[in-house]
Every structure is written in structure tokens, then in C-alpha cells.
Structure 1
Amino acid sequence: MELTERQKRIIQIVKENEPISADNIAKHLYLSKPTLRTDLTILTMTGILDARPKVGYFFAGQNFEPLLFEDLYEKSISEIMVPPVVIKKEATINDAVTMLFMHDVGTLYVTENQVLLGIISRKDLLRSTISNTSINKVPVAMIMTRMPNVVTLQEDERILDAGYKIIQHQIDSLPVISKDNPALVIGKVSKTVVLKHFIDEAMHLKK
């Protein structure tokens, strides 16, 4: 997969104006900073650009390698997903809080016979514990975000697709559903999982 015309233009702008902030790159392109977030992430992760806090972007001098892009972004979600942390719909809010801290996760998936019914985020639980004094009685089904209002991934989607969805929807993790049976949750992909994949690939390239 080749760089897009916009990504090539970003590289040229950085070469001509380094160091340059993301805000100023956006101004050159007459676009908003959030619109460029994914492009800048890709260019930084592939080693084409270097980003320094409070300084800006530099041209790192690395040539774009298609194989590197394939390793980082084109792999299937099924290759990096991890087991989901699930909870039954009858479980209480108190049970959910305990499970969240036991597994050190940001999101729980509410299931019944592996069928995804909804999700509960850390924010949902915080809101509920503050506003509700009966957390030992209220079931999680009362506060969860229900299907089909949950953003999901199919197991054959790309890591790049996961990154787009996480950024676009500003969420911690995505449930991975079966391609053959979209009702079944078979894994999850989180910000941490994606970041670990990038770090593992970078370490592998250094060897």
C-alpha cells in the first residue's frame, strides 16, 4: 500500500518548514488538526517523520517501506486480538466494578452464551456509582450501551481499521465479532493491544 497524496504533501511541508507543529501543517493544507491525526500517526510510526513534544515534526529521513506498512497496519485483527473480559447481564454494578479492577481493563462486554448484548465502560460505572446507592442490586443491563449501538470489528478487518474506529469514536476498546456469526464476540482490540503491536514490530525490526 502506497502513501496517499495528502501524506506525501505532509512530508513535503515538513521538509520545507521543519520543525513545524501539527496546527501549522493543518493550516498549510486548509484542514483541521483532527483530520490529519491518523496521517501524522502513520508517518511517525513508519519512521518518515519524527515528532518532538512542544517542538513539532521533523523529516526523519527514512524511506517508506511497503513491507513495514503491511506489518504494522494491514495485518488482520485476528492476529493481535486478545480474549474479551465478559460479564453476565444479571451481574450487579458492584460485580462489574470488582471485575474491572481485577482484570485492569477499561471496558466489560455483557454477553449471554457468547452473544454480545452490550458494553460497560469505566465511565459508565463511575457515573452509576456516583448517582446510585444500590450498586449491589442494580444489574449491569440497566446501564450498558446496548447492541446495535456498539462499535465493533469483524475478525478479518485490518489493524488500521481498528485504529480509525478507536480514534473516530474516542473509545478504549472494540469487541471483535465473528465473521460467520456477527452476534458472537470472540475477542477484543484495545488501545493498549494496538500500541503493543507497534512496539513489538519495532523491536523486531531492530534485531
Structure 2
Amino acid sequence: MILIQLSERQHAIMAFVKKNEPATGDQIARFLKLTRATIRSDLAVLTMTGILDARPKVGYFYSGLEKNPGLFEDIRNLKVSEVMTHPILVPKEMSVYDAIVQLFLEDSGSLYVAEEARLIGLVSRKDLLKSTIAGSNTKETPIVTIMTRMPNLLTIKKTDPVLDAALSIVSHQVDSLPVVEAEDQIIGKLSKSSIVELFVTTLKEEN
């Protein structure tokens, strides 16, 4: 088993939190003389691997889990194909109203717009909310008019490491990433909830 290799900055963050817990993201950024956005991926690594514990509206706590040399190897070796779930595909002609209904029926954060299984766009909760607030006729407005179109979507491959995909979700602040093959054929999705479930299950097994 191999211990995860932390960067010098991640070691500095860990040391600061150990000494000053609970430490907020702003406090850590000021200590490092960096912006909060710059250290977002570092904090994601440290919390997703269990070294730091993040508590909303409180801050970061040190857990000490980096002392366990076998904790991270399985996660580091996992590929997206082993964790991805089935994507919810909808046609571009679907109305905003029907998309809202579909989103809540599926309890999902986004819908993938496809033509013959080829990804052409994405509609998120935010997109639907903005359209509704703007006063558009939700029963008449097709989602093609509000979706984010390819190639402006961030996508991943089934062979990508799960940890890299998780960091992309955190750094780009999205609910999920579509998994595509050649010619944008969509075969799955990796969501925040899938990532959380993976880390929670792994950490429970180690305790």
C-alpha cells in the first residue's frame, strides 16, 4: 500500500490547521498569502482523503488520517468507470417546465441534452431557476434555448482517475461531469453525491 503524496503547500495547510483548528478557508489563504480560489483544490484533496474534516460555518479540523498508509490506495487507483452512474438524457425539444419536473422526479442536479446518445448540451438546476425567474413561458420554452452547449462543457473519460474527476468537480463548482466516448457519445455521469458516497464508504471501512 502507498501513502498519498502531499505537496509542500498541502503539508503547510495541514500544519496550520493542526495548530489553529478550527481554521477557515480565508484564514488558511491569508497564512499562505494566496487567494481562497488558489487553495481550493488543495483543501479538496485534504478533505476528500480524510486528512482534514470540513464543518460548514465552522472551519477545518485536523483528523490525523495521513498516518494510515493504506487509506488512500484503493481510491487513487479507482477509475471513473467503476463509480459512474447512468446519465439522464433528454431531447433538446423538451420544455423548461417538463425539464423541471424531470429533474425533481429523478432527484438530479442536471439533465444531459442528447441527440442519438451524442451529448449536445447540459441543463442544470441553476439554468432552470434563472429561466423561471426571468419570467419565460416554461411550458413553451425549449431547453435548447437555455442549455450550456458543447464544446463548452467539461467532460471526462471512463478511464480517468476518480480523484482527478472529483477535483474537477470541486474546482469548477459543478454538480456532475458527463462521461463521454468518441464523438461525444455519452455513457455515464460522475456526480457529487457519487463522490461523497465513495469517500464515506471507504472511510467507514477503515474505522
Q: CA distance change for structure 1 residues 205 and 128 in 2, over 3 Å: closer, same or farther?
A: same
**Percent identical residues:** 46
Matches of 2:128 and 2:198, distance apart in 1: 29
RMSD of aligned alpha carbons = 2.3
More RCO (CA 8 Å, sep 6+): 2
What secondary structure sits across from 1:35 in the alignment?
Answer: coil
Which sections of structure 1, spanning at least 5 residues, go unmatched?
none
TM-score, structure 1 length as denominator?
A: 0.85
What's the CA shift for 1:129? 2.6
Q: CA distance change for structure 1 residues 104 and 51 in 2, over 3 Å: closer, same or farther?
A: closer
Q: Which moved more, 1:60-69 or 1:95-104?
A: 60-69
What's the CA shift for 1:96? 1.1
Matches for 1:1-207 after TM superposition, within 5 Å: 1-51=4-54, 56-65=59-68, 67-178=70-181, 181-206=182-207
Q: CA distance change for structure 1 residues 20 and 126 in 2, over 3 Å: closer, same or farther?
A: closer
- Partners of 1:15 and 1:59 within 8 A in 2: yes
The one-letter code sitting in structure 2 at the alignment partner of 1:190 is S
What secondary structure sits across from 2:37 in the alignment?
Answer: helix
Matches of 2:79 and 2:21, distance apart in 1: 35
Matches of 1:121 and 1:158, distance apart in 2: 24
Q: Which moved more, 1:102-111 or 1:120-129?
A: 120-129
Q: CA distance change for structure 1 residues 191 and 50 in 2, over 3 Å: closer, same or farther?
A: closer
The one-letter code sitting in structure 1 at the alignment partner of 2:157 is Q
Matches of 1:88 and 1:20, distance apart in 2: 46
What secondary structure sits across from 1:155 in the alignment?
Answer: coil
What secondary structure sits across from 2:163 in the alignment?
Answer: helix
The one-letter code sitting in structure 2 at the alignment partner of 1:202 is L
- Partners of 2:17 and 2:23 within 8 A in 1: yes
Matches of 1:53 and 1:125, distance apart in 2: 27
Matches of 1:85 and 1:53, distance apart in 2: 30
Matches of 2:159 and 2:83, distance apart in 1: 11
Q: Which moved more, 1:17-26 or 1:168-177?
A: 17-26
What secondary structure sits across from 1:33 in the alignment?
Answer: coil
What's the CA shift for 1:81? 0.6
The one-letter code sitting in structure 2 at the alignment partner of 1:204 is E
Q: Which moved more, 1:98-107 or 1:57-66?
A: 57-66
Count of residues paired in the alignment: 204
- Partners of 1:46 and 1:64 within 8 A in 2: no
Q: CA distance change for structure 1 residues 169 and 40 in 2, over 3 Å: closer, same or farther?
A: closer
Which sections of structure 2, spanning at least 5 residues, go unmatched?
none
The one-letter code sitting in structure 2 at the alignment partner of 1:188 is K
What secondary structure sits across from 1:188 in the alignment?
Answer: strand
Matches of 2:60 and 2:124, distance apart in 1: 34
